[in-house]
Structures are given as structure tokens and as C-alpha cells.
């Protein structure tokens, strides 16, 4: 059995089965997921998955060091790229976020160390989720979003951060009957 939101036999189902909620500890992937969330502000996640290859092209395969050094010329190239989301503010936010991502790495040794420290390295399962309540934000996402904002990150409020924490496995929000829920596990709080 799988989460019912993903049973499309296509892109969503592949994402669910191979990425969503599986604990991620690669800074490159943590940056990619964070920037997909940034680009998704006001848009659907399915659109992000469909445009993922375009984002990879426009953002140097999500190499945060390269993105952090982007110039106005790079912004203009991204804006002109066919199929790219035409939001200069989001593109500039991705560049600024890459710079801030590197600052966190320098302070904590890795972004992985920083983000997982919020839960002491544990995947969280919220009792409210087990009781059938679907959250879009909580105290954890509020705290992470506030800290990222303080560090200069943009387009990453609490709701997008909650989604991010789900995607990287900090929060296990798979349906309790989904095989991935049991495979990933976590601490019930």
C-alpha cells in the first residue's frame, strides 16, 4: 500500500517511492530540495517535478557553490530559458539562498548537521498525523523557517519548510498504512 496522493502511475509515484520522506544527508540534495521548495511558492509540487530538469539546467545542476556566484547575466539567462518560471525574485532568491546555505555550512560544518540538529538527528512522527490530522506547519517548521529567515533565506516560510522537512525525511508523514511509513520509521511525538 502507498500514500493515496501519489498513485498516479507516473511522476508523483516515482517521487514518492524513491525520494519523498527518505532521510537525506547529502548537502547537494538538501540544497536541491530546499530550492525546489523556494521555487514552488504559490505553485503546485507537480509543476516543480515537471520543471525539475529545467531548474537543474538553470541552476547549474543545483551546485550551490556555482549558484552562489551567479551574476545578473546568469539571472537573465535563467529568465530567458524556455519553460523556466519567469520570476526574477525567485531566481534571485535561489542565488541569495545558495550564499546563505554556504554560510550555514561554514558555521555548522555542513547543512546536514544544521538541519538535522533541530530534531537531534531523528525522524519525527507526529501523533496528530497518526490521529488522521494533516498538518501544513507546526512548531518545528515555524522554528526552522524563523531561523532560516534570520539567516537571510527568502521564499521559505513555515508551510514550505514543513513540506521540505517531509521531503528530506525529518518528518515522516507517509500514511501509516504505506510501506514507506514503516520502512522510514521515526520517533513518535
Decide: 15 and 48 in contact? Cβ < 8 Å. Answer: no
Kindly report the backbone phi and psi dihedral angles of residue 188, in degrees, each rounded to the nearest multiple of 5, phi listed first.
-80, 125
Is 37 considered catalytic here? yes
Kindly report the backbone phi and psi dihedral angles of residue 87, in degrees, each rounded to the nearest multiple of 5, phi listed first.
-125, 100
As a whole number of angstroms, the distance between CA 104 and CA 40 comes to 22
Which one of 37, 114, 116, 164 is the catalytic residue? 37
Please give the sequence-ordered ranges of beta strands (E in DSSP) within the chain, or none if there are none.
124-125, 187-188
As a whole number of angstroms, the distance between CA 164 and CA 146 comes to 14
Kindly report the backbone phi and psi dihedral angles of residue 69, in degrees, each rounded to the nearest multiple of 5, phi listed first.
-95, 5
Which one of 15, 33, 64, 114 is the catalytic residue? 15
Which one of 19, 45, 81, 92 is the catalytic residue? 45
As a whole number of angstroms, the distance between CA 133 and CA 72 comes to 44
Which residues are tagged catalytic?
15, 37, 45
Amino acid at each position: 500500500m502507498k500514500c493515496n496522493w501519489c498513485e498516479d502511475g507516473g511522476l508523483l509515484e516515482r517521487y514518492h517511492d524513491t525520494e519523498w520522506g527518505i532521510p537525506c544527508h547529502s548537502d547537494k540534495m538538501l540544497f536541491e530540495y530546499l530550492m525546489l521548495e523556494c521555487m514552488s511558492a504559490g505553485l503546485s509540487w507537480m509543476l516543480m517535478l515537471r520543471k525539475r530538469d529545467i531548474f537543474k539546467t538553470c541552476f547549474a545542476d543545483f551546485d550551490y557553490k556555482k549558484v552562489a556566484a551567479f551574476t545578473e547575466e546568469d539571472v537573465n539567462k535563467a529568465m530567458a530559458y524556455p519553460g523556466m518560471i519567469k520570476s526574477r525574485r525567485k531566481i534571485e532568491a535561489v542565488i541569495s539562498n545558495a550564499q546563505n546555505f554556504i554560510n550555514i555550512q561554514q558555521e555548522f560544518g555542513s547543512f546536514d548537521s544544521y538541519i538535522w540538529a533541530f530534531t537531534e538527528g531523528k525522524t519525527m512522527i507526529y501523533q496528530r498525523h497518526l490521529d488522521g490530522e494533516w498538518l501544513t506547519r507546526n512548531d518545528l517548521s515555524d522554528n526552522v523557517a524563523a531561523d532560516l529567515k534570520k539567516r537571510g533565506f527568502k521564499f521559505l516560510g513555515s508551510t514550505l519548510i514543513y513540506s521540505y522537512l517531509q521531503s528530506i525525511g525529518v518528518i515522516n508523514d507517509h500514511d501509516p498504512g504505506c510501506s514507506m511509513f514503516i520502512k522510514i520509521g521515526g520517533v513518535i511525538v
